[in-house]
């Protein structure tokens, strides 16, 4: 199976605060890989650093190999151009623009690159998110939390990424909507995109993922097939509870 992403001996810090200490992880083609862990464990830092988008003051070192090449010195625009895409925790939509216009922004890079088929993903996105199709002319700022998350993922898909990184897609959403979002994440498999999913909702994340990592204070403390992690007593005790 071909490797999409491999992060090796990865470190990140903010001044004197070490956020990641020697992380190794891998995402294979067509796979959903999840990283679970408590608040402040370093999950967002990892996705931002892999994308080359650490906030000011953040420094990363170690290798980020994407499709076989080390991209750790590459600026974010080139990583995006090569098919890496991050949907950040705050979703970063343009509130006063319509759903459709937000989606078009996701296709902007392909359009700039002269790709005449840059709108070909619209049907795929509307197929995955019929609710966005119904609301295509509605301003993004008037969408519900769940719809905003769908739009953020839909916009990312417009760029036809090969690696989609999702930072806590279920954050702040009601349980029924969380269920819907995870259902959609599972459906994304059909599009062939590889997914790196960071979540505090360990139960749902391990249900959709193939493989998982547990991160605590910047270090991977456990890894394995998602079904094995879900049955691991340590994971059950710390992250799944008894329910
Ligand atoms: P959460 O689930 O709460 O978002 P997380 O697992 O994503 O947590 P990070 O946000 O990556 O964790 O934070 C990892 C560590 O780095 C924490 O100790 C945090 O306080 C610190 N940190 C994160 N961002 C910054 C920043 N911009 N400046 C300084 N320290 C930061």
Query: Between these two residues, 224 and 54, which has the higher pLDDT value?
Result: 224
- Rounded to the nearest whole angstrom, what is the distance from the C-alpha of residue 39 to the centroid of ligand 1? 8
Helices 121-128/145-158 angle, 10° precision: 150
Mean pLDDT, residues 204-219: 96
pLDDT computed for residue 118 by the predictor? 80
pLDDT computed for residue 115 by the predictor? 84
Indicate if ligand 1 lies below 6 Å from the C-beta of 39.
yes
Say how far apart CA 66 and CA 52 lie, in whole Å.
Answer: 12
Q: Give me the interface pTM, i.e. the ipTM.
A: 0.93
**H helices present in 13-129, as ranges:** 43-51, 76-81, 99-106, 108-112, 121-128
Q: Residue 133: how many CA atoms within 13 Å on its side-chain side?
A: 10
Q: What is the pLDDT of residues 36-84, one digit of tens each?
A: 999 999 999 999 999 999 988 899 999 999 999 999 999 999 999 999 9
Indicate if ligand 1 lies below 6 Å from the C-beta of 48.
no
pLDDT computed for residue 116 by the predictor? 83
Q: Which atom of ligand 1 is nearest to the CA of 167?
A: 7
The two structure tokens encoding residue 184: 């959609």
Indicate if ligand 1 lies below 6 Å from the C-beta of 230.
no
- Rounded to the nearest whole angstrom, what is the distance from the C-alpha of residue 116 to the centroid of ligand 1? 40
pLDDT computed for residue 92 by the predictor? 81
Q: What is the pLDDT of residues 114-162, one digit of tens each?
A: 888 888 889 989 999 999 999 999 999 999 998 999 999 999 999 999 9
Indicate if ligand 1 lies below 6 Å from the C-beta of 17.
yes
pLDDT computed for residue 112 by the predictor? 82
Residue 227: is its pLDDT beyond 60? Answer: yes
Say how far apart CA 242 and CA 179 lie, in whole Å.
Answer: 19
Nearest C-alpha to atom 26 of ligand 1 is from which residue? 14
Residue 225: is its pLDDT beyond 90? Answer: yes
DSSP string, 216-227: ETTEEEEEEEHH
Closest CA to 62 of 25, 14, 15: 25
Is residue 103 a contact partner of residue 151, using CB atoms and an 8 Å limit? yes
Say how far apart CA 33 and CA 23 lie, in whole Å.
Answer: 15
Domains, the chain, ordered by start: 1-83+161-242 (3.40.50.300), 92-160 (no CATH)
pLDDT computed for residue 242 by the predictor? 55
Q: How confident is the model at residue 5 (pLDDT cuts 50, 70, 90)?
A: very high
pLDDT computed for residue 241 by the predictor? 78
Q: Which region among 13-17, 113-117, 200-204 has the lowest average model confidence (pLDDT)?
A: 113-117
Q: Which region among 38-47, 90-99, 197-206, 220-229 has the lowest average model confidence (pLDDT)?
A: 90-99
Q: Which atom of ligand 1 is nearest to the CA of 46?
A: 11
pLDDT computed for residue 141 by the predictor? 93
Q: What is the pLDDT of residues 162-197, one digit of tens each?
A: 999 999 999 888 888 899 999 999 999 888 999 999
Closest CA to 99 of 70, 71, 68, 129: 129
């Amino acid at each position: 199976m071909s490797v999409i992403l491999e992060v090796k001996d990865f470190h990140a810090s903010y001044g004197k605060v070490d956020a990641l200490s020697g992380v190794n992880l891998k995402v294979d083609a067509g796979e959903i890989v999840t990283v679970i862990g408590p608040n402040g464990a370093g999950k967002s830092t990892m996705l931002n650093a892999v994308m080359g988008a650490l906030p000011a003051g953040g420094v990363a070192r170690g290798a980020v190999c994407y499709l076989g090449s080390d991209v750790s010195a590459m600026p974010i625009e080139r990583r995006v151009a090569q098919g890496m895409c991050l949907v950040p925790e705050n979703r970063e939509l343009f509130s006063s623009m319509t759903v459709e216009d937000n989606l078009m922004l996701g296709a902007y890079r392909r359009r700039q690159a002269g790709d005449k088929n840059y709108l070909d993903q619209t049907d795929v996105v509307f197929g995955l998110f019929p609710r966005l199709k119904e609301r295509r002319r509605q301003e993004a700022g008037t969408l519900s939390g769940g719809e905003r998350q769908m739009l953020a993922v839909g916009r990312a898909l417009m760029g036809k990424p090969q690696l989609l990184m999702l930072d806590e897609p279920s954050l702040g959403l009601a349980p029924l909507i969380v269920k819907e979002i995870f259902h959609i994440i599972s459906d994304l498999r059909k599009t062939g995109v590889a997914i790196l999913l960071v979540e505090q909702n360990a139960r749902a994340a391990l249900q959709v993922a193939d493989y998982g990592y547990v991160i605590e204070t910047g270090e991977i403390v456990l890894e394995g097939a998602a079904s094995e992690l879900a049955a691991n007593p340590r994971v059950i005790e710390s992250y799944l509870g008894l329910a």
